[in-house]
Amino acid sequence: MAGVCISSLYGGSGVPVDEKMEPVRPCIIWMDRRATDEVKWVKENVDLDRLFKITGNWVDSYFGYTKILWIKDKEPRLWRKTALFLPPNSYINFRLTGEAVIDHSSAGNLGGLYDIRTHTWSEEMAQALGIPLELMPQRLVPSGEVIGEVTEEGARLTGLAPGTSVLAGGVDAPMATLAAGALSRGDNVAMMGTSTCWGIVHTGEGFAKELVSMPHVVEAEEKVYTWGGSATSGALARWFRDELGRWEVEEARRLGRDPFQLLDEAAAKVPPGCQGLVALPYFMGERAPLWDPQARGAWVGLTLSHTKGHLFRALLEAAAFALRHAMEAGEEIGLPIGDETLVVGGVAKSRLWLSILADVVGRPIRTLATEGIGAPLADALLVGLATGLVDRHERIRDWVSYTDPIVPDSERQALYDRYYARYRRLYDVLRDELHALAELSQEKTR
């Protein structure tokens, strides 16, 4: 084995470890929304314009620095024990090598503390937030840099050979984007599995409070990875199957088919726009660009003529509307979005869903011709580059192939433009009531 490179989910706070480098509690990952009090404190006590100018990011409980503040505020005993916060890949790398290192993508995704222009920790923001910088790894490196070698202890824990090179690695989203071949300015990929993460590679043309930005996992000094996306996409379809698709599950079992195929067939019989039915996909609150943990899902416009196929198709369309919303946030700040968008993940298995995506976002949609490996393919590329087995980043494009594009239909696109306008308006109109319902749901009942 030439080397090891680990990509990991965005671990939010990271793993807090004590002076012996033992975890003091689990990391609080990106999906955890508990840091609402801390978000409020930041908004009331920190110069938000300076925070955004320095970090390129805004304030939300998604960001790791708010989760670190939660530990400081809510778990003071564990806070006093914490010597360092390590992202998941950095923690594993430490166990392998004994080196406490953080890559630029993980540092940037933490938000709040990382200066996206100088690629260093920001002392100014650390002081403003009350987070000592000594709690952050002091060695910041590109994702493809060799940070050390597997120690005897690392070998005992994993079976890897002592002396094997270990790279810094990075956040899974930009790694998966690289694995799909996105490394040039304007390349953009929508990873649509449980949730949606639409990401674009650029050279710093713009930053938006509605989106998340971090150095890319290749050429971090020059290239930025910016993403936005909804908290639910594939999760909507899975929820519908589990809660409302019992017949499809049983029928698919009898026929030896996938229940999602049956649901797709029912949805394909429904015209675009679902005859006046619009869904809001905020079944787990919403991430970028709304940043609203209190948002809630809805079907609006239901009549007795609507069927299960209408309900299901409305969810597919809602996920497409959410993708368009994120992409428009990028367009508004001048990001150089390429002519085509690549869609990867479970959603890409549905030809109907891909067609809806093309019509809603108004651009050709491609996907991988063969099922992708995802982020580990980018890990392998970086190992190859670091060890001399691969000569350049562009080799990733020799490792993947793409389908022919699904081109938007102009008539359907024009209709979806009108429905999308209603979709955006519905959130604005219903937001306060959705928040009130969220608060009611959290009240204890007798």
* Per-residue model confidence as pLDDT tens digits over 286-317: 989 999 989 999 999 999 999 999 999 999 99
pLDDT of the residue at 444: 72
pLDDT of the residue at 380: 97
> Residue type for 11, please?
G
pLDDT of the residue at 371: 74
Q: In CATH, what number does 179-446 get?
A: 3.30.420.40
pLDDT of the residue at 445: 61
> Which value, to the nearest 10 degrees, does the dihedral of the CA atoms of residues 14, 17, 19, 21 take?
-100
Degrees (nearest 5) of the Cα angle 374, 379, 381? 100
- In the chain, list all ranges with CATH 3.30.420.40: 1-168, 179-446
Whether pLDDT at 446 is above 90: no
| 389 three-class SS | coil
Q: Is 3.30.420.40 the CATH number for 1-168?
A: yes
Contact (CB, 8 A) for 375 and 175: yes
Q: What percent of the chain has pLDDT over 90?
A: 96
* Per-residue model confidence as pLDDT tens digits over 17-46: 999 999 999 999 988 889 999 999 999 999
Global confidence as pTM: 0.93
* Cβ neighbours for 421, distance < 8 A, ≥ 6 positions apart: none
> What is the Cα–Cα distance from 378 to 101, expressed in whole angstroms?
19
pLDDT of the residue at 278: 99
* Secondary structure in 3-state letters for 337-383: CCCCEEEECHHHHCHHHHHHHHHHHCCCEECECCCCCCHHHHHHHHH
CA separation, residue 317 to residues 9, 25, 206, 261 (Å): 27, 40, 28, 17
The per-residue pLDDT of the chain, averaged, comes to: 96
Tokens of 200: 């674009």
Tokens of 236: 């909507």
Tokens of 222: 């020059």
Q: Determine the average pLDDT of the residues in 246-264.
A: 98
> What is the Cα–Cα distance from 130 to 124, expressed in whole angstroms?
10
Whether pLDDT at 158 is above 70: yes
> Residue type for 257, please?
R
Contact (CB, 8 A) for 144 and 218: yes
* Per-residue model confidence as pLDDT tens digits over 403-431: 999 999 999 999 999 999 999 999 999 99
* Per-residue model confidence as pLDDT tens digits over 360-388: 999 999 999 987 678 999 999 999 999 99
* Cβ neighbours for 283, distance < 8 A, ≥ 6 positions apart: 231, 232, 235, 236, 239, 296, 297
* Per-residue model confidence as pLDDT tens digits over 82-110: 999 999 999 999 999 999 999 999 999 99
